[in-house]
């Protein structure tokens, strides 16, 4: 299942670059996840609340793309791995395998490489480290030709202000959050509640908001976002979950609709696959070495600005 955001690592030792979260938020594993802005109002005891109709998930024709000129120079900032005495290295894309020496889960070959200006680590004849380098990119060959000497680079720490806030949007009830039944909910109850709300039309995302320093379920709020019927979503959750619950209505596409957008784009542009879903932004996220301006503009026109966000790994140099 997708939608797990509790860690920066995947099984098998893969480090994934992704937005950091506050430690106290634990997202629920989701088959499909998406979201847009939260509307005013949360589900109370009577489950009142509603959401606006969501836009269509599909379009008539795929966006087109124009390849950039071959002599365009780009700046790469990221992780490089290669033979210590060699003239080639691999520039990593979105994945770095945490072996020793590490390996790129995806990457391109950089030709004309020189480690002399990089404060790199070395293991088994392989050098690796964070770098910044300028060169030209050949998309057809999947190669990067170095035109400026590589140098070391240190990624700045993430500003806490940029971290996402997964706090519960509902106001705390009078007397505080508490279970609605004598027995506290269990981890099994939580899993059943998640499966139930995920099956309700309009489901977007669910997550747990825990008080720091405790694993007590009665101190955790189950949050659910939906573009559909708030009362129906709350009723589905209450079949299995007696703990604190916050169901909010959101605008935009449901998880299923957003995933349809993802599938449509991957079919039209296989070079962008695999795409991911951003649960809170209500967006399809893609990473590519170079993203033609007309491709992003076309996707914005088809699906709405911000729905499809393509992040470019190579920065054009003027």
**For the chain, what are the domain ranges?**
1-67+159-318, 73-152
| CA pair distance 37, 234, nearest whole angstrom | 19
Q: Is the pLDDT of residue 12 over 90?
A: no
Per-residue confidence (pLDDT) for residue 37, from 0 to 100: 34
**111-134 as b/e: b if 16+ CB within 10 A:** bbbebeebebeeeeebbbbbbbbb
> What pLDDT digit, counting tens, does each position of 87-121 carry?
999 999 878 888 888 888 788 999 999 999 999 99
> Average pLDDT for residues 292-298, to the nearest whole number?
88
**Average confidence (pLDDT) over 31-53:** 35
Of 69-73, 263-267, 302-306, the least confident: 69-73
Give the residue among 76, 83, 86, 84 at the shortest CA–CA distance from 130. Answer: 76
With bands split at pLDDT 50, 70 and 90, how would you rate the model's confidence at 178? confident
Mean pLDDT of the chain: 77
Overall residue count recorded for the chain in this entry: 318
Q: Does 1 score more than 60 pLDDT?
A: no
Residue 2: the pLDDT is: 36
Query: Using one digit for the tens of pLDDT, what is the confidence trace for 129-162?
Result: 999 999 999 988 889 999 999 999 988 887 777 7
Decide which of 11 and 157 is more confident. 157
User: Which candidate, 196, 193, 292, places its Cα nearest to that of 241?
Assistant: 193
This prediction has a pTM of: 0.69
pLDDT band at 26; cut points 50, 70, 90? very low
Q: Tell whether the model's pLDDT for residue 127 goes beyond 90.
A: yes
Task: Give the mean model confidence (pLDDT) for residues 178-185.
Answer: 75
Q: CA-CA distances (angstroms) from residue 85 to 89, 112, 113, 156, 222?
A: 10, 12, 10, 29, 54
Q: What is the average pLDDT across 157-185?
A: 81
pLDDT tens digits, residue range 214-255?
555 556 889 999 999 999 999 999 999 988 899 999 999 999
Average pLDDT over residues 52-67: 47
Contact between 305 and 189 under an 8 Å Cβ cutoff? The reply is: no
196-215 pLDDT, tens digit per residue, is 999 999 999 999 887 655 55
């Amino acid at each position: 299942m997708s939608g797990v955001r509790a860690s920066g690592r995947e099984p098998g030792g893969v480090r994934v670059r992704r937005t950091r979260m506050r430690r106290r938020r634990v997202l629920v594993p989701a088959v499909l996840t998406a979201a847009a802005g939260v509307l005013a109002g949360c589900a109370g005891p009577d489950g009142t609340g509603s959401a606006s109709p969501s836009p269509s998930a599909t379009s008539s024709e795929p966006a087109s793309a124009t390849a950039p000129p071959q002599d365009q120079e780009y700046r790469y900032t990221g992780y490089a791995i290669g033979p210590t005495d060699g003239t080639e290295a691999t520039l990593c894309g979105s994945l770095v395998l945490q072996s020793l020496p590490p390996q790129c889960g995806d990457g391109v070959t950089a030709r004309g490489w020189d480690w002399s200006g990089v404060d790199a680590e070395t293991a088994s004849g392989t050098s690796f480290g964070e770098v910044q380098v300028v060169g030209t990119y050949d998309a057809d060959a999947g190669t990067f030709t170095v035109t400026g000497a590589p140098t070391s680079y240190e990624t700045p720490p993430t500003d806490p202000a940029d971290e996402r806030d997964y706090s519960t949007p509902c106001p705390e009830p009078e007397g505080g959050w508490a279970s609605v039944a004598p027995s506290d909910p269990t981890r099994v109850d939580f899993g059943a509640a998640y499966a139930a709300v995920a099956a309700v039309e309009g489901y977007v995302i669910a997550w747990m908001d825990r008080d720091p320093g405790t694993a007590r379920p009665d101190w955790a709020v189950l949050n659910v976002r939906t573009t559909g019927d708030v009362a129906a979503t709350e009723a589905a959750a209450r079949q299995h979950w007696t703990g604190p619950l916050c169901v909010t209505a959101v605008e935009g596409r449901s998880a299923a609709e957003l995933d349809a957008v993802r599938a449509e784009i991957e079919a039209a542009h296989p070079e962008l696959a695999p795409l991911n879903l951003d649960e809170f932004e209500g967006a399809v996220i893609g990473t590519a070495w170079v993203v033609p301006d007309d491709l992003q503009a076309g996707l914005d026109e088809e699906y709405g600005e911000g729905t499809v966000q393509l992040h470019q790994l190579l920065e054009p140099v003027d």
